[in-house]
Amino acid sequence: MVAAIGIDLGTTRTCVCVWQNDLGVAVIPNDEGNRFTPSCVSFTDSECLVGDIAMRNITRNPHNTVFNVKRLLGYKFSDPSLQIDVAQLPFHVFERDSEPRIRVQDRGMTRVFSPEEILSLILAKVKEVAGLYLGGVVTSAIIAVPAHFNHAQRQAIKRAGTIAGLHVRIISETSACAIAYNLNNRSPMERNVVIFDLGGGSLDVSLLSIEGGVADVKATASCPHLGGEDFDARLVDHFATEFQRRHREDISGDARALLRLRAHCERAKRALSSSSRTTLEIDCLSRDGVDFVAPLTRHWQRFEALCEDLFQAALEPRAPREGPPRRAARQGACARDRVSRRVHAHPPRLKRASSPASSAAGGRQLHRALNPDEAVACGAAVHAAIVDVAGNTATASSASESESERMRDLLLLDCAPFALGVEGAGGVMVRALIARNARIPTRRSMAFTAHTDDQPGVFVRVYEDDGARTRETENHLLGCFVLDGIRPAPRGVPRIEVTFDFDSDNNLVVSVTDKGSGKEKRMSADAEEYYREPARRVAAKKRLEEYASGVRAVVKELEGALDDTDMWLAGAQKALREEYTQRHQGLEASASTAIEKLSALADANAEECSGARIVDETYLRSWQIARA
């Protein structure tokens, strides 16, 4: 069995590493020999292309080439941040069940993909290449994700891995970088290290305390929509406007031209990381074949002015809008002058972009012994070897005794990226169960009670937030479920215990126990069926009760008409023919009315069963819980 691999699944490109014998960590090159694979998928009339070949196809087939899809994960389609990203994408993103979906033409057919299905194609490609490199079938991987990823986004990454045929465990990118740093920079003295991760799609900053082989994550702060792609977008907008000013031609509606311009802007940005000046040269940028040339320098003031709000979002020295570096230092209770090392994961290509990290680290110089482009994938591979995902002996047996011992000495103590709690009475989130930046794994319990008299059950809604909000409507719903069968009692009497189990792999299990009856319900936070199925059962029971009550009322009315007829017949032995006929017509009318009412009840019940009104949400939401 081959070793588990570590994957840095980036917004713009993906890197794969593996722990190998005495060699330590090795980067697995892709099928073209490159150390990085573009996170890009292109659909053509004959095949599906992934990686470098897909990126080369992007300008020829812009509407069917999908990239930057990681920024669509875990968001509702109506989210303003997602709408900003969608507006810049040339392929078609639309709404289905409130989620973003991608429509492309694949081999002559219209196909719809979810963001995680696109990511699964990328993961399947790197899995195949890694298998050829290692000489076997890769089945397990550690995938590094941005530290700010919420539960839904992490579960989406796991689903993508499952579709690709991988057993996936998750680690934060900054934590993976810390492992890579600690592998070769171990010291018995405690050190505070700032990990600054400005990737293609987001900015994450983590503060760690490292002593020996133990890396303790103290705090994490993020800007979810601030990455290299945002700086590229500013360059593209500027040069598109400059092209229009020079040549009186608008290319803003030309997807092919904009993608070519974006590729050259990114290339120029990378060039400026190692040289003081470069030139943007694009042949035949417009449909009319007009060339475009523009010089750029590292200290180009116009660029800094264009991106000033992005730089400020990363830095922001004052609360409540302080940037991630300062926020991480404050939440980790660490003064800047106590930071001994600054490490980059996904290095900023521009000097100004690294100033927030330098500021948070008290001006400490960057640690340069670690390749920042490969640090995250390297740390993920080391973590894969430590946890031995591929099996108990797959990694340890292949490593030498000294190397294996060096790995086993490494320990990562991670923290919860979000506060976790439940909705209490009045729609207020009870955050005290698991606080933001709490050490994980952890288990926390809290006592609640029924909010109203004779409440037949409790409706539990589980939320996560960044610690700055209190109304449940502002937070992210992880899931909800119902615990019914509680014994009728006055409000405040029932004892309901809510327990959160949060493991080191960011899996959350919530259990609710009625202490009076001992009845318990457990829910994995990504399984809404735990809520929907009990809710459907409660709704089905309610439908049956309502239908039986309705039928009983109709039958009672008809029985009344029959009793009246029997009594009249008993005392009307010599009644006239017309009187008998009149009574018959009256009873017939009563029976006809009863049949109509029964038919109406049956139609209403069929409508509910078909899904028109499956769950009485208002009724279930009335089963609120309150702090005991």
Phi, psi of 273 (to 5 degrees): -75, -20
Partners of 463 in the β-ladder: 421, 477
The neighbour count for residue 69, using CB atoms within 10 Å, is 27
Same domain, 7 and 138: yes
Q: Is residue 250 part of a domain?
A: yes
Same domain, 454 and 537: no
Query: In the structure encoding, which two tokens stand for residue 280, read together?
Result: 């943007």
Helix axes 228-247, 255-271, angle to 10 degrees: 120
Q: Is residue 599 part of a domain?
A: yes
- For residue 301, the Cα-to-chain-centroid distance in whole angstroms is 36
Q: Is residue 359 part of a domain?
A: no
Phi, psi of 203 (to 5 degrees): -120, 125
| pLDDT at residue 9 in the model | 93
| pLDDT at residue 393 in the model | 45
Helix H or strand E encompassing 302: helix 301-306
Q: Which residues contact 488 (CB under 8 A, 6 or more apart)?
A: 454, 455, 456
Burial of 143 (0-12, 13-18, 19+ CB in 10 A): buried
Rounded to a whole number, what is the distance in angstroms from the first to the last CA of the chain? 52
Same domain, 1 and 147: yes
Domain CATH number, residue 434: 2.60.34.10
Cα separation, 345 vs 518, whole angstroms: 49
| pLDDT at residue 128 in the model | 94
Please state whether beta strands 13-20 and 24-27 pair in parallel, antiparallel, or not at all (unpaired): antiparallel
Cα separation, 270 vs 264, whole angstroms: 10
Cα separation, 292 vs 276, whole angstroms: 21
Q: Is residue 330 part of a domain?
A: no
Same domain, 45 and 8: yes
Q: Which residues of 562-576 are buried (b: 16+ CB within 10 A; e: fewer)?
A: eeeeeeeeeeeeeee
Same domain, 498 and 376: no
Cα separation, 591 vs 119, whole angstroms: 63
Cα separation, 417 vs 222, whole angstroms: 10
Please state whether beta strands 520-524 and 508-514 pair in parallel, antiparallel, or not at all (unpaired): antiparallel
> Given 412, 440, 471, which residue is the final one in a domain?
412
Asked if residue 378 lies in contact with residue 372, where contact means CB atoms within 8 angstroms, the answer is no
Same domain, 492 and 563: no
Q: Is residue 270 part of a domain?
A: yes
Q: Is residue 278 part of a domain?
A: yes
Burial of 318 (0-12, 13-18, 19+ CB in 10 A): exposed
> Given 361, 390, 412, which residue is the final one in a domain?
412
> Structurally, how many domains does the chain consist of?
4
Residue range(s) defining the domain that contains residue 548: 533-617
Report how far apart, in Å, the C-alpha atoms of 428 and of each of 1, 458, 472, 625 are: 50, 16, 6, 11
User: What one-letter code names the amino acid at 343?
Assistant: V
Cα separation, 109 vs 208, whole angstroms: 50
Same domain, 35 and 158: yes
The neighbour count for residue 453, using CB atoms within 10 Å, is 11
User: What one-letter code names the amino acid at 230?
Assistant: D
Same domain, 593 and 474: no
Cα separation, 519 vs 523, whole angstroms: 14
Place of tokens 């920079």: 185
Helix axes 529-570, 577-609, angle to 10 degrees: 180
Same domain, 386 and 440: no
Domain CATH number, residue 271: 3.90.640.10
Domain CATH number, residue 120: 3.30.420.40
Q: Is residue 567 part of a domain?
A: yes
Asked if residue 220 lies in contact with residue 174, where contact means CB atoms within 8 angstroms, the answer is yes
Give one word for 527, left, alpha or beta, with left for phi > 0 and alpha for psi -120 to 50: beta
Cα separation, 167 vs 140, whole angstroms: 5
Cα separation, 124 vs 163, whole angstroms: 8
| Predicted structure pTM score | 0.76
Same domain, 33 and 116: yes
Query: In the structure encoding, which two tokens stand for residue 267, read together?
Result: 């290339």
Query: In the structure encoding, which two tokens stand for residue 17, read together?
Result: 């590493």
Cα separation, 84 vs 53, whole angstroms: 27
Cα separation, 525 vs 335, whole angstroms: 36
Q: Which residues of 152-163 are buried (b: 16+ CB within 10 A; e: fewer)?
A: bbbbbbbbbbeb
Q: Which residues contact 591 (CB under 8 A, 6 or more apart)?
A: 558, 561
Place of tokens 């400020």: 312
Asked if residue 106 lies in contact with residue 64, where contact means CB atoms within 8 angstroms, the answer is yes
Q: Which residues of 34-58 are buried (b: 16+ CB within 10 A; e: fewer)?
A: ebbbbbbbbbbeeebbbbbebbebb
Same domain, 270 and 180: no
Q: Which residues contact 492 (CB under 8 A, 6 or more apart)?
A: 449, 450, 626, 628
* Residues identified as active-site: 8, 70, 173, 197
Same domain, 404 and 494: no
**Mean pLDDT, 10 residues at a time, over the chain (628 residues)?**
87 91 84 94 93 91 92 87 88 91 93 94 95 92 89 89 92 87 74 81 82 80 79 88 90 88 86 80 87 81 78 57 55 51 56 56 58 88 75 46 60 82 76 78 88 85 67 69 83 88 83 87 60 54 79 87 86 82 87 85 62 48 71
The neighbour count for residue 227, using CB atoms within 10 Å, is 25
Cα separation, 90 vs 87, whole angstroms: 8
> Given 309, 336, 356, which residue is the final one in a domain?
309
Place of tokens 């070793």: 3
| pLDDT at residue 402 in the model | 52
Q: Is residue 364 part of a domain?
A: no
Side-chain-side CA neighbours of 395 within 13 Å: the count stands at 31
